[in-house]
């Protein structure tokens, strides 16, 4: 703000003066002056910049008081996915009178098993072999375990049938253990979040249509809550052994809840 307008009137040859302040509406008479005496007037006029500032302040107030045109909704989604991997343990045992004999016997069987595994599309990185040698009196016993990770369950079942048919009692094939890979779970969580946002957008579109508005850009997306669980513990090992039920195929489920804010399109900016 600029100081008020000040007018100074001075009478020559006397101490009389009058000060007039504009803008504050005051008139101060210091001493009375003699009538019909010429006076000199001094005036200071500041530049007229208050109008521009007032306009700027008025514009700022208009922006602050403008109502926010937006809608905030929540979206929920639940997605599930079965296990995409399985571990299978294949074991063979041989007992011979010497270490060389038992080693050669196990090596031949392992070679056949490894060849069968490769024929079913399993790489060496997904195969682990472990051998254990024991001695009993005058004999030697060697145990070998092959842990195989499968991503195609039909091929796993077919391979089990071949091994049991060709090697008979000399091979033992365990029950497969199904699980979810890290990539599968990551993809499942992403699908849940994306589906929740899509549901929120659909809800916001319906609300905008009901209000006669047009949905604009997304302002904010916030994930409020996520939950994840599997059903692999639903049946215990004891129940499976009594009823001879095959292992359950685990199902992973993920739920996601998001909060999304959308703007409404400005009707004043419609194209002519």
**Domains of the chain and any CATH numbers:** 1-46 (no CATH), 70-82+181-233+248-269 (3.30.110.170), 85-179 (3.30.70.330)
Ranges 30-39, 59-68, 101-110: which has the least confidence: 30-39
Of the pLDDT bands very low, low, confident and very high (cuts 50, 70, 90), residue 34 is: very low
Q: What is this structure's pTM?
A: 0.64
Does residue 227 have a pLDDT over 80?
Answer: yes
Res 162: pLDDT: 94
The tokens describing 172, both together, are: 């033992």
pLDDT of residue 182: 95
User: Residue 236 has what pLDDT?
Assistant: 44
Out of 20-34, 70-84, 178-192, 258-272, least confident range: 20-34
Banded pLDDT at 65 (limits 50, 70, 90):
low
Bridge partner residues of 128 (DSSP): 147
The answer on pLDDT for 20 being more than 60 is: no
**138 Rama sector, left if φ>0, alpha if ψ -120 to 50, beta otherwise:** alpha
Cα–Cα nearest to 179, from 234, 250, 254: 250
Pairwise CA distance, residues 195 & 223, whole Å: 12
Short-list 48, 57, 68, 56, CA closest to 5? 48
DSSP 8-state code for residue 156: H
CA distance 80 to 58: 56
243 close to 226: Cβ distance less than 8 angstroms: no
Whether 48 has a pLDDT exceeding 60, the answer reads no
Whole-angstrom distance, CA of residue 78 vs CA of residue 135: 56
């Amino acid at each position: 703000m600029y100081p008020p307008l000040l007018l100074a009137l001075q009478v020559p040859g006397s101490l009389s003066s009058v000060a007039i302040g504009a803008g504050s509406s005051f008139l101060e008479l210091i001493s009375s002056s003699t009538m019909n005496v010429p006076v000199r007037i001094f005036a200071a006029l500041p530049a007229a910049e208050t109008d521009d500032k007032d306009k700027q302040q008025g514009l700022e107030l208009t922006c602050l008081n403008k109502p926010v045109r937006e809608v905030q909704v929540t979206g929920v989604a639940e997605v599930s996915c079965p296990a995409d991997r399985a571990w299978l343990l294949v074991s063979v045992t041989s007992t011979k009178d010497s270490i060389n004999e038992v080693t050669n016997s196990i090596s031949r069987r392992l070679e056949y098993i490894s060849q069968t595994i490769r024929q079913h599309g399993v790489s060496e990185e997904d195969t682990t072999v472990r051998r254990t040698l024991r001695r009993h009196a005058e004999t030697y016993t060697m145990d070998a375990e092959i842990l195989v990770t499968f991503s195609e369950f039909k091929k796993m079942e077919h391979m089990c049938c071949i091994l049991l048919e060709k090697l008979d009692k000399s091979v033992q094939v365990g029950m497969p253990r199904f699980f979810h890979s890290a990539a599968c779970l990551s993809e499942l969580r992403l699908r849940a979040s994306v589906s929740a946002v899509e549901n929120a957008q659909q809800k916001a579109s319906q609300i905008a249509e009901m209000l006669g508005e047009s949905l604009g850009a997304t302002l904010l997306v916030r994930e409020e809550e996520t939950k994840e669980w599997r059903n692999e513990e639903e049946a215990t090992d004891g129940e499976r052994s009594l009823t001879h039920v095959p292992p359950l195929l685990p199902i992973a489920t993920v739920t996601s809840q998001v909060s999304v804010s959308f703007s409404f399109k400005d009707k004043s900016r419609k194209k002519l």
